Amino acid sequence: MSNKTIYINKPSITDLEISYVNDAITNGWGEKCYDYINKFEKTYSNYIGVKHTLATASCTGAIHIALMALGVKPGDEVIVPELTWIASVEPVLYIRAKPVFVDVQEDTWCIDPKKIKEAITPKTKAIIAVHLYGNMCEMDEIMQIAKEHNLFVLEDAAEAIGSEYKGKKAGSIAHIGTFSFHGTKTLSTGEGGALTTNDTDLYEKSKVFNDHGRNPKDPENKMFWMRNYGYKYKISNLEAAMGLAQVERAEELVKRKREIFYLYKELLNDIPGKINAEQDYVINSCWLPTFVFDKSLNFDRDGFFKYMTSLNINSRPFFYPLTSLPMFEDKPQNVVSYDIYYRAINLPSYHDLTNEDIKLVVDSLKQYLKK
């Protein structure tokens, strides 16, 4: 048993984060209450390679705003991957649109472009492409399908901060990108998210939705007056202060994630199964090392989690197929998704994890497999 708890993920906090947050909590009020938010949004835009970033309270909020800005209405259909965290899909339900679940690819576990084509109907309005666990969707194919059918594409890059597809950062390729800065993510604000886009019109619409429907460009321009209702998904100056420091350290943080991943990959090489994909034209930021055990091992993941917990080692299950949850209708024809989830796990990957910790995790996993 480890004398310390090996966590699945946690932020990397240095003197830089502490100094920015201390400044924000000491001085960031009155006319300075947006200073760190503005700096964070500008710096993040530069990092991702987009014109506009809108900081939000969560990625879920960013997706909701994005769908509203894209004009998704009740009754519209939005094509979504079967395998993802439910936050990718919940905002579709907020709008009373219909999520259409399609299967994923066997290698990347990301939405399958062929299945997208098969799911398009006259009611289809948008596609949500989720870059799962840092893996990248086949964005060229997806964007081409969207162009042919006059659809919008939203990149959910919550788990892929720093991943790249053919030289472009995740979240910079589609009409709109969204991100999470939850405490488990590669860059963190504690809680928080962002919406990114190169489309100024979509950005302006999103800003209005993000601020109770208030539009500073409205000719009325009266305090507390708005033409329509909106939402409040705004981030705080304190969170943005931490976020600014994290973005300034982004390359360092992504580099360490990749180092952790490749050590896992080396140590797990003799176990039958698959680890996160990285196509020749992709840089995977490796948010969470994910391993899908071969069927021949008859892997019992619940037993595995119980065993690792007894050793003070955190691990996580792969996401359930969303249609297997009680609120949706089962769709077992999404055969890849239904086949892999129960034999797949996520392994610890926080930035301060030592190489010795990683070896202990893998040794413990191998001991379990021998039981």
State residue 250's pLDDT score.
98
The angle subtended at Cα 28 by Cα 26 and Cα 31, nearest 5°, is 140
pLDDT of 258 reads: 98
Using one digit for the tens of pLDDT, what is the confidence trace for 325-367? 999 999 999 999 999 999 999 999 999 999 999 999 999 999 9
State residue 221's pLDDT score: 66
| Rounded mean pLDDT, 284-306 | 96
The phi and psi torsions of 306 (rounded to 5 degrees) equal -65, -45
Domain ranges of the chain: 15-248, 250-370
220-249 pLDDT, tens digit per residue, is 667 777 778 889 999 999 999 999 999 999
Look up the CATH number of domain 250-370. Answer: 3.90.1150.10
Kindly state the average pLDDT of the residues 302-323.
Answer: 96
- What is the per-residue pLDDT across 157-194, written as a single tens digit (0 to 9) for each? 999 999 999 999 999 999 999 999 999 999 999 999 99
pLDDT tens sequence across 26-83: 999 999 999 999 999 999 999 999 999 999 999 999 999 999 999 999 999 999 999 9
pLDDT of residue 254: 98
pLDDT of residue 257: 98
What pLDDT is stored for residue 339 in this prediction? 96
φ, ψ for residue 65, nearest 5 deg: -60, -45
**What distance in Å separates the CA atoms of residue 120 and residue 98, rounded to the nearest whole number?**
12
* Per-residue pLDDT at 2: 58
The pLDDT value recorded for residue 220 is 67
Comparing 262 with 211, the larger pLDDT belongs to 262
User: Does residue 1 surpass a pLDDT of 80?
Assistant: no
Look up residue 287 and give its two tokens. 């948010």
Residue type, 70: L
Q: pLDDT above 70 covers what percent of the chain?
A: 99
Report pLDDT for 63: 98
pLDDT-based confidence at residue 369 (cuts at 50, 70, 90): very high
Would you state the structure tokens that stand for residue 367, as one six-digit string?
């001991």
If you average pLDDT over residues 150-163, what whole number do you get? Answer: 98
pLDDT-derived band at 308, boundaries 50, 70, 90: very high
DSSP string, 54-66: EEES-HHHHHHHH
pTM: 0.95
Average pLDDT over all residues of the chain:
96
> If you ran DSSP here, which 8-state letter would residue 51 be given?
S
The CA–CA distances, whole Å, from 289 to 229, 296, 371 equal: 42, 21, 23
For residues 109 and 169, what is the distance between their CA atoms, to the nearest angstrom? 19
Kindly indicate whether the domain formed by 15-248 is annotated with CATH number 3.40.640.10: yes
